[in-house]
Amino acid sequence: MNVKIPNLSLVVLIGTSGSGKSTFARKQFLPTETVSSDQCRSLISDNENDVTVTKEAFELVHYMIAKRLKLGKFTVVDATNVQSSARKPLVDLAKQFHVLPVAIVFKVPESVCQQRNDQRTDRNMGGHVIRNQNRDLLQSIRSLKREGFRHIFVLDSVAEIDSVTIERTPLWNDRRSDHGPFDIIGDVHGCLDELLELLHQLGYTVTDSELSAPDGRKAVFLGDLVDRGPASPQVVLLVKRMVEAGLAIGVPGNHDSKLVKKLSGRDVNIGHGLEQTLEQLSHETPAVHREIREFLDSLVSHYVLDGGKLVVAHAGMREDMQGRGSGAVRDFALYGETTGETDEFGLPVRVKWAEEYRGSAMVVYGHTPVPQPKFLNNTVCIDTGCVFGGKLTALRYPEMEFVSVDAKETYCEPVRPVVSPDSEEQFGTAQQAHDSLLDIADVRGRQHVLCDGFGTVIIPEENAAAAMEIMSRFGADPRWLVYLPPTMSPAETSDLPDYLVHPAEVLSYFRKQGATHVVAEEKHMGSRSVVVVGKDAEAIRRKFGVDGGLGVVLSRSGRRFFDEIELEQALLARLSNAMDRAGFWSDLRTDWAVLDTELMPWNAKAQQLIQSQYAPVRDGATASLSARRDWIAAAAARLPEVDLSELQAKTDFQLDAAQRFGEAFSRYCWPVEKLEDYKLAPFHILATEGAVHFDKNHEWHMQTIAAFGAEDAAVLRATPWRKVDLSNAEECESLIDWWITHTNAGGEGMVIKPLDFIHKGKNGMIQPALKCRGREYLRIIYGPEYLLPENLERLRKRGLSKKRSLALREFNLGLEGLRRFVAGQPLRKVHQCAFGVLALESEPVDPRL
């Protein structure tokens, strides 16, 4: 005997003690697939025959089954299961997790079981036990179907039990191996002309004699082929022909299901367009009636396609029901989820499953007419109400293009006006309306963010908690936060006396990692800022869903840089105009951009820090060290026998250091009174419409930026840069000279990057940039006196690996966030990345690196 079992099912073994269930399970299934009551008894009491723990053992059995089914794991229950009361919780569990319950009955003569039990030394049960079990078993067989078992196999003899083979079959809805490409077509409702036109536009040939699809494509019908429209029978027959020819698949809609009931002779409410269909059918033969009924009845509730990336169903499909089979799954596919209430038009109030959808598979569905295809959280409704005078829409997958045909007439007046209920009060798309508020579940606790081309970045729970606080207390509107910049690692420390870092180490890092060219850019000393800028306010509103003028300037922690919005907008206007004059918008075919920039002066944001920390150190050091110098000089004059020369020299050095420290930071400070006192220096064009520009090298970024920067030099500061061939010793030497000249003159230092934005070395992605800060500048970081030999020696001992690993993770989170944003993914998916960067920044890493 060959037993076919769906590969997602709960198999319930039913048989008396000694009927051979456990032996059978060991032979046929994986040990981990089998949940055995004996084993559970043993797990909690060390004795698999201890009947006093039966209740607890079955709690464990049910618990383990629930866990497995939730994960979609094939599961076998090895217990006697001879009583209906024992089977009921199992059927319930199968229903709860939408898997099929399967019964395999072991019908073995009582004497055989009794004999087997008698041979066991560890178990000694009276003869009545097996007799009673056998009686229960025989009574059970008849009622299994009624109890809800979808497949029932009765094995009649020991020989059959020994010889049976088990075959696992995929569920009907499992078409993951079908990769399309697909043309997914919304509710047709008998609109034959529009359907033919749409198919034609999509490149299908449909005539009486010929039927073909373009380039191996396949049409996917989302159901509701019938009712309301002028030619329901013809539509069904056409779709049937296409399905039989292997050119289409289809799922049923609620209207199709109702028609099947009617044609099967069941009593249904005639209405909602069924009356037209019946009228049209009255001109058809009974054979056609049967053909239509059988075809529609054969349709599978929903399909999982393209390796699990695509799900199609008439009314949508919740994540936990996808690819599963139960009455509830079918109901959901046909009707969606309803609250049981009805609205002012007498129609069922629908649960907004799409708003809560978090699945990775894209769900394409119809059922609810909308004026335009409606994207929300990786779901898309493409029923554009053709029969109501709207249009018939197809979604080309994976191209994600829409093809529509206008209705030739309004065949039916809608009961409820065709509008997207979410977008009434707000501008923008349904997704943007939904995204105006994020859910705490998307950021609370440990997070896993899958970054394409890099892997999963884990955000530990405590970091997420820290980020939640910062985001909530200080963060800008999350719709702006499509990107936060990563931290940047410094170079390894230098061995040269008098230097903590030196470009030589940076060059050797990149050389070792296999880069052939680098780009060195002067580092500006201001505040790292992310700038979102639009060509006009409309562009920003469309792309970001925020009524936010020309964009926003954000600090590296996601805070709005400017308290005065007018100032921010004035700066953005200057930037936007400069970009316009340089032809940026037209060249890049975009009307918005996200830029990585440095905003100067430093004191614009750091005034508080300068006043409370930097200035007092300068003033205190100068006063105190001057007094010390004088006191030592006086003492030295008095005490020629005491050698104070070393102390004197050191004090002089310190006094000089205090002076230089003061100069180092005051260079980056100037008064800000008007717009032109701010200087913005962009250095990366992160993203524009349809593009994340991490695929362009830094030469492109620098040149493109220079082009619009030149248009308004009063507020846009150019970044001097040069490209260096790492194999050319002269170029490398000259870069070092440039760095020394630049930093000695007070420059902060340089950022050196591999020429390509993303460079993969032998061991994967390498650091996207290393900073090399100048000798004078570092006083701001390590204190005025860091160059004292005894200080420098200690400062050289620093570990970079944690910083570098963090820099890479944050870089990839930033990139992933931009990718998701450009691809129009839901905000929570974009936010997760920016949030992740902020969370990782709360990691305790030496902040001076």
Minimum distance of other proteins from residue 149's CB (angstroms): 36
Assess 410 for contact with other proteins (CB under 8 A): no
Q: Could you give phi then psi for residue 827, rounded to 5 degrees? A: -55, -35
The window from 72-80, 131-139, 610-618, 811-819 that contacts other proteins (CB under 8 A) reads 610-618
- Give the nearer residue to other proteins in terms of CB position, either 633 or 823: 633
Say if residues 383 and 366 touch (Cβ distance below 8 Å).
yes
Say if residues 349 and 338 touch (Cβ distance below 8 Å).
yes
Say if residues 664 and 746 touch (Cβ distance below 8 Å).
yes
Minimum distance of other proteins from residue 847's CB (angstroms): 8
Assess 649 for contact with other proteins (CB under 8 A): no
Out of 1, 441, 450, 496, name the contact with other proteins by CB under 8 A. Answer: 441
Q: In what order do the strands lie in the sheet with 374-376?
A: 174-175, 302-305, 310-313, 362-365, 379-381, 374-376
Minimum distance of other proteins from residue 749's CB (angstroms): 17
The window from 193-201, 280-288, 623-631, 756-764 that contacts other proteins (CB under 8 A) reads 623-631
Nearest to 401 by CA among 423, 429, 373, 378: 373
Assess 437 for contact with other proteins (CB under 8 A): yes
- Give the nearer residue to other proteins in terms of CB position, either 331 or 477: 477
d(CA 492, CA 501): 7
Partnered with residue 338 across adjacent β-strands are 350
The pair of three-digit structure tokens given for residue 584, joined into one six-digit string: 């940026």
CA 61 to chain centre: 34
- Give the nearer residue to other proteins in terms of CB position, either 271 or 497: 497
- Give the nearer residue to other proteins in terms of CB position, either 191 or 501: 501
Which residues ranging from 446 to 465 are in contact with other proteins (CB under 8 A)?
465
- Give the nearer residue to other proteins in terms of CB position, either 139 or 613: 613
The window from 164-172, 401-409, 440-448, 531-539 that contacts other proteins (CB under 8 A) reads 440-448
The pair of three-digit structure tokens given for residue 174, joined into one six-digit string: 């499992």
Out of 638, 671, 730, 801, name the contact with other proteins by CB under 8 A. Answer: 638
Say if residues 117 and 18 touch (Cβ distance below 8 Å).
yes
Assess 245 for contact with other proteins (CB under 8 A): no
Assess 566 for contact with other proteins (CB under 8 A): no
Say if residues 661 and 784 touch (Cβ distance below 8 Å).
yes
Assess 351 for contact with other proteins (CB under 8 A): no
Which residues ranging from 113 to 172 are in contact with other proteins (CB under 8 A)?
none
- Give the nearer residue to other proteins in terms of CB position, either 264 or 626: 626
Which residues, other chains included, contact 317 with Cβ-Cβ below 8 Å and sequence gap of 6+? 302, 311, 329, 332, 333, 363, 365
Which residues ranging from 787 to 846 are in contact with other proteins (CB under 8 A)?
791, 794-795
- Give the nearer residue to other proteins in terms of CB position, either 584 or 786: 786
Count of residues that bind other proteins according to CB under 8 A? 59
Say if residues 386 and 369 touch (Cβ distance below 8 Å).
no
Out of 611, 727, 734, 744, name the contact with other proteins by CB under 8 A. Answer: 611
Minimum distance of other proteins from residue 632's CB (angstroms): 7
Minimum distance of other proteins from residue 23's CB (angstroms): 48
Say if residues 44 and 135 touch (Cβ distance below 8 Å).
no
Nearest to 598 by CA among 521, 517, 546: 521
State yes or no: cis peptide before 214, omega within 30 of 0.
no
Assess 472 for contact with other proteins (CB under 8 A): yes
d(CA 503, CA 492): 10
Assess 624 for contact with other proteins (CB under 8 A): yes
Minimum distance of other proteins from residue 619's CB (angstroms): 4
CB-based burial label for 340 (10 Å; 0-12, 13-18, 19+) = exposed
Assess 621 for contact with other proteins (CB under 8 A): yes
Opening angle at CA 716, ends 710 and 722, nearest 5: 65
- Give the nearer residue to other proteins in terms of CB position, either 347 or 634: 634
Out of 639, 649, 745, 823, name the contact with other proteins by CB under 8 A. Answer: 639
- Give the nearer residue to other proteins in terms of CB position, either 391 or 779: 779
Assess 194 for contact with other proteins (CB under 8 A): no
- Give the nearer residue to other proteins in terms of CB position, either 187 or 785: 785
Assess 848 for contact with other proteins (CB under 8 A): yes
Name the 3-class secondary structure at 477: coil
- Give the nearer residue to other proteins in terms of CB position, either 792 or 815: 792
Out of 781, 796, 825, 842, name the contact with other proteins by CB under 8 A. Answer: 781
d(CA 14, CA 161): 12
The window from 116-124, 317-325, 406-414, 606-614 that contacts other proteins (CB under 8 A) reads 606-614
Out of 616, 720, 764, 799, name the contact with other proteins by CB under 8 A. Answer: 616
Q: Could you give phi then psi for residue 623, rounded to 5 degrees? A: -65, -45
Q: How many residues does the chain have?
A: 849
The window from 333-341, 591-599, 634-642, 743-751 that contacts other proteins (CB under 8 A) reads 634-642
Minimum distance of other proteins from residue 608's CB (angstroms): 10
In Å, what is the CA distance from 485 to each residue of 136, 699, 768? 69, 20, 12
- Give the nearer residue to other proteins in terms of CB position, either 612 or 763: 612
The one-letter code for the residue type at 788 is: L
Q: How many CA atoms lie within 13 A of 66 on its CB side?
A: 10
Assess 468 for contact with other proteins (CB under 8 A): yes
The window from 77-85, 139-147, 279-287, 616-624 that contacts other proteins (CB under 8 A) reads 616-624
The one-letter code for the residue type at 231 is: A
Assess 745 for contact with other proteins (CB under 8 A): no
Assess 532 for contact with other proteins (CB under 8 A): no
- Give the nearer residue to other proteins in terms of CB position, either 40 or 468: 468
| φ/ψ bin of 81: left (φ > 0), alpha (ψ from -120 to 50), beta (otherwise) | left
Assess 435 for contact with other proteins (CB under 8 A): no
The window from 452-460, 535-543, 607-615, 682-690 that contacts other proteins (CB under 8 A) reads 607-615
Assess 849 for contact with other proteins (CB under 8 A): no
The pair of three-digit structure tokens given for residue 418, joined into one six-digit string: 């065709």
The window from 97-105, 474-482, 566-574, 817-825 that contacts other proteins (CB under 8 A) reads 474-482
Say if residues 304 and 173 touch (Cβ distance below 8 Å).
yes
Minimum distance of other proteins from residue 439's CB (angstroms): 5
Nearest to 550 by CA among 532, 563, 562, 567: 532
The pair of three-digit structure tokens given for residue 487, joined into one six-digit string: 């931290």
DSSP string, 194-239: HHHHHHHHHT-EE-SS-EE-GGG-EEEE-S--SSSSS-HHHHHHHH
DSSP string, 591-617: SEEEEEEEEE-THHHHHHHIIIIIHHH
- Give the nearer residue to other proteins in terms of CB position, either 63 or 474: 474
Assess 614 for contact with other proteins (CB under 8 A): yes
- Give the nearer residue to other proteins in terms of CB position, either 634 or 713: 634
To 10 degrees, what angle do helices 254-263 and 286-298 make? 130
Assess 644 for contact with other proteins (CB under 8 A): yes
Q: How many CA atoms lie within 13 A of 224 on its CB side?
A: 28
Out of 383, 591, 785, 841, name the contact with other proteins by CB under 8 A. Answer: 785
The pair of three-digit structure tokens given for residue 806, joined into one six-digit string: 């963090």
The one-letter code for the residue type at 835 is: F
The pair of three-digit structure tokens given for residue 217, joined into one six-digit string: 């494509």
Assess 469 for contact with other proteins (CB under 8 A): yes
Residues that bind other proteins (CB under 8 A): 436-444, 465-466, 468-469, 471-477, 560, 611-628, 631-632, 634-635, 638-639, 642, 644, 647, 780-786, 791, 794-795, 848
